Structures are given as C-alpha cells and as structure tokens.
A and B are shown apart, each in its own frame.
Chain A
Amino acid sequence: MASSREEIFGKVQEVLVDALGLDEDEVTEEATLMGDLGAESIDFLDIVFRLEKAFDIKVPREELFPAESVLNNPDYVSGGKLTDKGMAELRARMPHTDLSKFAQDPDVNKIADLFTVSTIVNFLEMKLNG
C-alpha cells in the first residue's frame, strides 16, 4: 500500500522526536539533522534502527547516509572539496537529495547540511512507493 508523504513525515517526525529527544515542532522538513537537531554519529544508527521498526523495512545506513564512504575515498575529495568524480558519486548515491546548491561549492564541511528531515522522507517515499 502506498503511503502518503504526510504519513511518512508524521512517522519520521515521531522517530526523530524519540531518537534525539526533541519537541515535535523542531522537526521541520528543512531542519538539518546535525546542525539544527544535534544528531551525532551514533544517532544516525539509532535513527536507522527506529525507521526500520516504524516502517517495517530494511534501511541500509549506506543508502540513507552515504556521505561517509564518499568522503573516505581519496579520489573523491581534493583540497577539502568534492572532486567532479566525487560529486557524480554523491549524486548517484543520493537521488533522494537536492544537491544543486551544494554542487556550487562542494565543501566537505558542508556535506552534513545535506542531511535534512526531508532527505529521510524522500528516501522513504522512494523505498516504500517504488
């Protein structure tokens, strides 16, 4: 059964409220997980586990949050920025994220800002509705 975006957002909101100890109104679509919501690395795994439970699907961490493996590849990073190759890789791995703004200045320090609440909702929408 297809899930509506609102349904998915509602469940994601609940997951993030529980995982990060937030108030519901803090979890907006635009909020960044690390910057705005204060998520740390272990929280990403906590979020993945909770999403798996809430939606009853497998959520490979690498698919939802692929940045780490891209950053760890020396071909993809140069002078603190993603190379063209790295950018292409990130695009391929994150079809659920709008990268157009990031692509103008692909500073690796800004990569964390790509992970927003809507990234998760988009990802689940693709996973659940095909």
Chain B
Amino acid sequence: MRWIWIDKFLEFESGKRAVALKNVTLAEEHLHDHFPGFPVMPECLMIEAMAQTAGILVGEARKFQEKVILAKIKKAAFFHYVRPGDTITLHAEIESIAPEAASTEGEIRRGEQVVARIGLMFSHIDKNLAGKRFPEENFVFTDTFGSLLEGFVDQYPSGERR
C-alpha cells in the first residue's frame, strides 16, 4: 500500500510538466501536533507532495516501466506557511531525463503566491546501484496512483504490472 498525498492532477503534459492539487485540512491529524494551537503543513510533507507529483510525471515519461525513487532533494526553499483550509498546487517540470535518472524543478503555489521551490532527483533504481536486484513487480506505481491519472494518461499499466 502506498499513501497518496495529492488529491488530483489539473494538468499533465507527458514528459514535460504536470500540475497537481492538494487540499490541506485540519482533519489531517499531524496538524494537531504541528503545532498545538498553530497548525501549519510540515515542510517535509510539502516535499512529499512535490515528490509524488514530479515522480508520477517522471514515471509516465517512461510509461511506468521504471521504478522511480526519490534520490535527492537538490533544493527546497519555503517562503510562507501553509495552513488548514489552504489549497496548494504543485507545479513540476522535468529538467533532464536519462536512462538512469531524472531531475525536476517545481513550485508550490497557493493561488498566485509561490510558497515553496523544490528541485528533486529521481533514480530509476533498476539502472543503478551496481546491478542490485529489485522485485520484478513495479512496487512504485500501484493501482491507486493510476486513479489519479484518469483522464490524463491512458497507458497506466493497471492490474498486471511489469
């Protein structure tokens, strides 16, 4: 089971860019502790939301044949708090992509306001780590992710995955 941390895609341009949306709600229990009386979205979870947006973009660029793993946070700068009730959009772009890895740049916005800039590197793990073997099954791109892409992508390998 993978957890999904974005609510839907708004735009998806294969191999280039994607925009996803997340609604932030006080029903997310961690916000009660982060911080008591002053709930703000943890910055690490903003990175996770960007990693999912950009990771799916990178995965789709290779038709989900690669196991795409977040390998490096190149940069992460945060400019404003994100609070319960906010809707954030995650704008991700592929900067470079090679057989072994991909590099992405992105912004998180609330309306027009940029709340964070996040640059990531993803590894296609079967092509790295000196031939270390991973399970055949693509454990990264499970069916739950497929539902996010409905209407945008028709090649999602549902059911039987290679």
Whether the Cβ atoms of A46 and B74 lie closer than 8 Å is yes
* Chain B residues within 8 Å of A52, by CB: 96
Whether the Cβ atoms of B100 and A45 lie closer than 8 Å is yes
Q: Tell me, in angstroms, the Cα distance from A113 to B100 when the chains sit together.
A: 23
* Chain B residues within 8 Å of A53, by CB: 95-96
Contacts known (A52-B96, A53-B96); A45 close to B130, Cβ less than 8 A = no
Whether the Cβ atoms of A42 and B130 lie closer than 8 Å is no
- Determine the interface band of chain B, counting residues with CB < 8 A from chain A: 10 to 19
Q: Give B96's nearest chain A residue, CB to CB.
A: A49
Q: Tell me, in angstroms, the Cα distance from A41 to B103 when the chains sit together.
A: 14
* Chain A residues within 8 Å of B96, by CB: 49, 52-53
* Chain A residues within 8 Å of B128, by CB: 41-42
Whether the Cβ atoms of B72 and A46 lie closer than 8 Å is yes
Whether the Cβ atoms of A42 and B123 lie closer than 8 Å is yes
- Minimum distance in angstroms from A69 CB to a CB of chain B: 10
Interface status of A3 (Cβ within 8 A of chain B): no
- Minimum distance in angstroms from B38 CB to a CB of chain A: 30
Interface status of B101 (Cβ within 8 A of chain A): yes
Q: Chain A contact residues: over half helix, strand or loop, or mixed?
A: helix
- Minimum distance in angstroms from A17 CB to a CB of chain B: 12
Q: Tell me, in angstroms, the Cα distance from A52 to B96 when the chains sit together.
A: 9
Contact among A19, A45, A68, A71 for B101, CB-based, below 8 A: A45
Interface status of B121 (Cβ within 8 A of chain A): yes
Whether the Cβ atoms of B100 and A43 lie closer than 8 Å is no
Contact among B103, B123, B130 for A49, CB-based, below 8 A: B103
Whether the Cβ atoms of B129 and A61 lie closer than 8 Å is no
Q: Tell me, in angstroms, the Cα distance from A45 to B97 when the chains sit together.
A: 10
Contacts known (A45-B100, A46-B103, A49-B95); A72 close to B71, Cβ less than 8 A = no
From 2 to 54 in chain A, residues with beta carbon under 8 angstroms from any chain B beta carbon are 19, 41-43, 45-46, 48-49, 52-53
Q: B-side interface residues toward A, CB under 8 Å?
A: 71-72, 74, 95-96, 98, 100-101, 103, 121, 123, 128-131
Q: A-side interface residues toward B, CB under 8 Å?
A: 19, 41-43, 45-46, 48-49, 52-53, 61, 68, 71-72
Known: A48-B98, A72-B130. 7 other contacts (CB 8 A): A19-B74, A41-B129, A42-B71, A42-B123, A42-B128, A49-B103, A52-B96
